[in-house]
Homo-oligomer: A and B are copies of this chain.
Amino acid sequence: MNYTISEITSNKDNLGKEVTINGWVNNLRLLGKIGFIELRDVSGKIQVIVKDQELMEKAKKLTEESCAGCKGILQHKKDDPTKYELALSNLEIHSIAKSLPFTNRVIDELKPNEDTTQKYRYLYLRTERAQKNMLVRSRITKIMRDYLYDLGFNEFETPILGKSTPEGARDYLVPSRVHKGSFYALPQSPQLYKQLLMVAGMQRYFQIAKCFRDEDLRADRQPEFTQLDIEMSFINEEDLFELIEGLLKTIWKEVKGVDIKTPFMRMDYMDAITKYGSDKPDLRFGMEFNDSGNQIYFEADKNESVLEYLKSQRSVYFEEKGNKVKVFVEKPEKEFDYKPYNTLGTARLEVASRLGLNKGEDKFLWVHNFPMFEYSEEEKRFSATHHPFTKPVNIDEKEMYKIKSYAYDVVLNGMELGGGSIRINNMEMQKQVFKMLGLTEESARSKFGFFLDAFEAGIPPHGGIALGLDRLVMLIAGENSIREVIAFPKSKNAEGLMEGSPSDVSKDQLIELGLKLGKSK
C-alpha cells in the first residue's frame, strides 16, 4: 500500500527512517551542489533534498508535474523543526511531464480561461483549490449518508432509463435499439419512483441521485446534476423540517466547525413575497417592504453606488431622505400580481450588495405555504408551482390563485438549497389536480396511469425533499460556480470539452437505432 505525504509525516515512527513518497514535482531547484525537489500529492507537499551527484543527474531529467517516487530518510527541517523533509537516497521516475498549458504552481499567474481548465481537467484537478473542493464534496456525501443511515433511512437506487413524461423542463431521450422508434428518458428527478417506494412500504428512503434536464442554457446550470433525494411515510412538515435542520447542522458543524441555530425561521410564501419580493429572501439584512396604500417601498442607507444603480432603473423609483433612500414601486391593482414585488425585491438585493450587506452569519429559512399553481402569461395556463404530486391545502377554493399547498423550500442567504412537499395520497385529489392543470383523463392515464393505479394499493401519507448537492457543496466550499465542485463539468454549451462530447456517431450506430438525422444539422 502506498501512503500519502500526510499519512507518512503524521506517523512519528517514520521519523529518521527510510520511507518512499510518491507524487508530482511541484517545483524543482537543481543548481549548485544541493538540489531541492518539492514533491506534491493530494494530501500536501514535502521538500526532498538531493545531495548525491548521481541522483542529481537523474533528477535533472525531471520536469515540473512529472510523477516520481522518492525514497529517503524522513527528517525534521533544519530551519523549522515542525516541518519535514526527505533526504533522497533513491529516485524512481514514473513518468516525465511534457510542456503543459498550465501547472499547479503557476495557475494563479497564468489564469487559464475556463475552457482550458475544462479541457485539461486532469491538470486543473491537481490544483489545491480543485482538490480541496473534490474532497469536501466527498466528505459531505459521507456525512449525509451517515446521518441518514443512523436515523433508519436506507439508500435505494431508482432507474436512470425511465419514461418520458414531459412537464416543465425537457427530458433527455435515449433511443432504444431493441424497440426501434421508442425512447427511454433520463430522469429529471426520481419523484415517482420514490413515491412508489413509499407505496411499497419502504418508509425512509434516500438516494444521492443523478438527475438530468435538457434546459436552455443558463450561466450556472449543468445538464446532469446531483441531488440528495429524500422521502418518508407517515410524516408532516414538522418532521421533515427537523430532519433537514439536523442534517444541515451536522454538515456545517463537521465541515465548517460552525454551530447553526435550529429550528430555522419559517415564513409564509405570501410574507416572503410581500416583505422581501422573493420566495427565497436573503435575511442577512433587513430592508423589509412597507405598504403605504398606493406604494410598496423599503428604506436603505445610501452611497454613490446605490444612487447610481437606482438612477439607472426604470421600474423602481426612489427619493433621497437625508442619509437614507426610499425605494418604491406602485402597488399592483390585482391581488395576485407579484411582479412589482419581485421588481422591488431585485432592487433590495442590489442595493444591499452595493452597501456590502450581503455577508455575515448564514441565515437559514423555511419558506412554506407555496401556492399550488402559478399562472404563466406566456403559456396562458396554470402550471404546478412545485409539481403536480404536491398536496393542496384547500383544493375546493374556487380561485386557483388562492389554492395553497404543503410545499416548502429551504433557503440560505437568498439561495434555494432544496425544496419538497407533502404529497397527495388520494386518487380523486390527484386526478383533480391533473384536471386543473389541463390534462385530459386520457392523457393523465397514458402518462401516469401506472402511478394512479398505485393509489388503490394502500398509499401512505408521505412527503419528501430534494437538496441540490452541487449548490450545497459550492456554498460550503465558498465557490461561486457549481462547475468548481464537479470533477468533470460540462461547459455552458453542455459540452464535455475534455473528451469532446457530444460527438458524431457512425451511420451504423444510427441505423441500428432506426434513426435518421433531420435536415437541420
Contacts and interface: CB of A to CB of B under 8 A. Distances in A.
For this chain, the copies found in one complex come to 2
Which residue, A97, A149, A157, A210, has most C-beta atoms of chain B within 10 A?
A157
A242 B7 CA distance: 19
A23 B22 CA distance: 56
A156 to B, nearest CB: 5
B161 A496 contact: yes
Interface stretch (A123-131, A255-263, A376-384): A123-131
Given A457-B97, A501-B184, A162 B203 contact: no
Contacts of A425: 94-95
A138 B156 contact: yes
A142 interface: yes
A69 interface: yes
Given A94-B460, A157-B486, A184-B502, 19 more contacts: A2-B233, A2-B234, A2-B239, A23-B201, A24-B458, A42-B202, A126-B200, A159-B224, A160-B160, A160-B186, A160-B224, A161-B172, A161-B224, A161-B490, A162-B499, A172-B174, A180-B521, A183-B503, A516-B516
A183 B234 contact: no
Contacts of A518: 180, 510-511, 514-516
A106 interface: no
Interface stretch (A163-171, A403-411, A474-482): A163-171
A322 interface: no
A84 interface: no
Contacts of A496: 159, 161-163, 184
A152 B196 contact: no
A62 to B, nearest CB: 9
Interface string A492-519: 0111101111111110011111111110
Contact of A122 (B180, B235, B457, B504): B457
B135 A183 contact: no
Interface stretch (A48-56, A284-292, A346-354, A448-456): A448-456
A182 B426 contact: no
Interface string A216-244: 01000001101000001111000100110
17 contacts: A2-B233, A4-B203, A40-B201, A42-B201, A42-B202, A67-B460, A95-B460, A97-B457, A121-B200, A134-B202, A135-B154, A138-B156, A156-B487, A182-B502, A184-B501, A514-B520, A515-B516
Nearest to A210: B160
A96 interface: yes
A461 interface: yes
A158 B7 CA distance: 26
Interface string A113-141: 00000011111111000010011011101
A488 interface: yes
Contact of A454 (B122, B184, B493, B510): B122
A426 B131 CA distance: 24
Given A170-B512, A496-B161, A520-B514, A126 B460 contact: no
A504 B161 contact: no
A38 to B, nearest CB: 14
B201 A24 contact: yes
B155 A141 contact: yes
A290 to B, nearest CB: 40
B161 A457 contact: no
Contact of A458 (B96, B125, B179, B458): B96
A315 to B, nearest CB: 32
Interface in A1-28: 1-2, 4, 7, 22-25
A66 interface: yes
Contacts of A142: 145, 149, 155
Nearest to A164: B505
A439 to B, nearest CB: 15
